[in-house]
Chain A
Amino acid sequence: MTLERFMNEAISPWMREEGPDHDIVLSSRIRLARNFADMPFPILAEQKDLEDIRTFFKEEYEHQSFGEYTNFEFISIRDLTAIEKSVLVEKHLISPFLAKREGAAAALISENEQVSVMINEEDHIRIQVYFPGLQLTKTLNRALEFDDWIEEKVNYAFDESRGFLTSCPTNVGTGMRASVMMHLPALAMTKQINRMMPAINQLGLVVRGIYGEGSEALGNIFQISNQITLGKAEEHIIEDLESVVQQLIEHERKARTRILEQSGIELENRIFRSYGVLQYSRIIESKEAARCLSNVRLGIDLGIIKNVSRNILNELMVLTQPGFLQHYAKKTLTAKERDILRASLIRERLQIEE
């Protein structure tokens, strides 16, 4: 089954390349929300209309290619098991909301997993494009080109005054959500990130953790994205986002240097203890795993831990999520069983590195 290729690897092929500022920025993403004109949005559409949209995408785009995004796989959500859905969500190839939808929900995913199109999510069409590191302009340009390609065959719901019409008023206009995923352990350690958040919110941007619930950010992985989609051109939205991200990078680097200078031995202790925990644990909860992975990754970035790939953070954060663990085990697991399997996978993965 072709779905297998998305299921087997925890990190997507494009993540193996190192992008600009890769010591802090994991990835850049652009998401565009689009709808068919003359058809109710998925929230109120007849099942038949949604089925027609699904069929249209399957017939027109399955196994098609656009530039370097080749061989799009067409996946019907209703054909997936619960575990398969979780894996696609954990890899950020589909949204949790799409995974919950019954009926005509579907996704198109390029072979390199860099582009995915969600069909019949909150909007009829949601295009997602990823790039490694901080590359917002490139990501935006690719997303807009891809959008043109889809528009050749789709009559979009667009209004001269309001722009692209979306089901939720928070997306209208550009329909664009740009986001940058960042690893900010030093700003988290010194609690600086909490003080910076209100100022960032003031600029129409939002910071949140992508793993964990509420305000906690497991693995010190944060996502910064734009809130405003109306009244600003796409390029200006990403300019503003980029400048905030640049400042965060600068603060994070400064904080790392300062911690290293002021309490180098304590930091080194913390990093190596975490490394030890990951190497020797027999049972590990996801929170502890995330904390240790973040510390080890910081150790790699600072040159304290050598010969371990930076990808260990992204890869193991995904690999140790419940969906992935159960996919690996090929059965549903209790929380305890997951903690045991998580510890064993991390140990194995670290042994490969040595």
Chain B
Amino acid sequence: MECQECHQRPASLHYTQVINGHKTEIQICEVCAKEKGYMTYPEEGYSLHNLLTGLFNFDSNHVGSPNNPLKKEKELECTKCGLTLTQFKQIGKFGCGECYHAFSSSLNPIFRRVHSGNTEHRGKIPKRKGGSLHLKKQIATYKSQLQDLIINEEFEQAAVVRDKIKDLENKITEAGDSK
């Protein structure tokens, strides 16, 4: 079933509204639901939507708006899912992983605002997907351990850690060769 608002995207949400005892069924897509205010996110303790609209008030009214076709050409757009930067700012959601690259130049201020000044990931690296990133992170940990051990003159331990680092570095080179 297609969305009753835009008649483009498939309707993925279903709402039942009761107004004065009359029940109305609404089939709508998420983009429209968000724009028309159907969708609320009780999960989030605060409204990202408000945050973003507050943050982008100054440009969201003219860039890419239908009555300003000249500017529309320059509008950033994700080549993979077709979401534009303006749409992203309106709905506050990315359309796909590639959007993060497509809009990269505009994201740091948003992330800083939402994540207390942070823009870079410091947490878990997936085992398989992370590939050699995992090993690199482990090497960095060992290297700082090695520093401490040398400072404390624990040379036997230091030799063990140094071997571990060599092993991991070999692994990375091997993985690189096989590709």
From B43, B80, B118, name the one whose CB has the most chain A CB atoms within 10 angstroms: B43
From B80, B117, B124, name the one whose CB has the most chain A CB atoms within 10 angstroms: B124
Distance A234 CA – B126 CA, assembled complex (angstroms): 13
Tell me the interface secondary structure of chain A in the complex. Answer: loop
Complex interface bits, A229-251 against B, C-beta within 8 A gives 1, otherwise 0: 11111100100000000000000
Assess the A234–B94 pair: CB atoms within 8 A. Answer: no
Distance A206 CA – B48 CA, assembled complex (angstroms): 14
**Shortest Cβ distance from residue B175 to the other chain A in the assembled complex, whole angstroms:** 16
Interface residue count on the B side (C-beta < 8 Å): 52
Q: Which residue of A lies closest to B115 (CB)?
A: A230
**Shortest Cβ distance from residue B50 to the other chain A in the assembled complex, whole angstroms:** 12
Assess the B120–A158 pair: CB atoms within 8 A. Answer: no
Q: Which residue of A lies closest to B82 (CB)?
A: A44
Distance A44 CA – B80 CA, assembled complex (angstroms): 11
B1-58 residues with Cβ-Cβ distance < 8 A to A are 9-15, 27, 30-31, 39, 41-46, 48
**Shortest Cβ distance from residue A93 to the other chain B in the assembled complex, whole angstroms:** 14
Judge if A319 is at the interface, Cβ distance under 8 Å: no
Q: A101-B13, A151-B129, A208-B45 are in contact. Are A168 and B92 (CB under 8 A)?
A: yes
Assess the B94–A231 pair: CB atoms within 8 A. Answer: no
Q: A169-B110, A173-B121, A227-B46 are in contact. Are A156 and B81 (CB under 8 A)?
A: no
In the complex, which residues of chain B have a beta carbon less than 8 angstroms from the beta carbon of A233? 122-124
Assess the B114–A151 pair: CB atoms within 8 A. Answer: no
Q: Which residue of A lies closest to B88 (CB)?
A: A169
Assess the B94–A167 pair: CB atoms within 8 A. Answer: yes
A194-251 residues with Cβ-Cβ distance < 8 A to B are 204, 206-208, 225, 227-234, 237
Complex interface bits, B79-119 against A, C-beta within 8 A gives 1, otherwise 0: 01111000000011111110011000001001100111111
Considering the complex of A and B, which 6 residue pairs feature the smallest CB-CB distances, nearest first?
Answer: A231-B118, A163-B121, A206-B45, A157-B97, A44-B95, A230-B115
Taking A160-B121, A174-B124, A231-B121 as known contacts, 16 extra A-B pairs with beta carbons closer than 8 A to each other, sorted by chain A number, are: A41-B94, A44-B95, A47-B10, A97-B41, A158-B125, A162-B100, A165-B94, A166-B94, A169-B111, A170-B48, A172-B111, A172-B115, A174-B121, A225-B45, A231-B116, A233-B124
B residues near A, CB below 8 A? 9-15, 27, 30-31, 39, 41-46, 48, 80-83, 91-97, 100-101, 107, 110-111, 114-130, 133
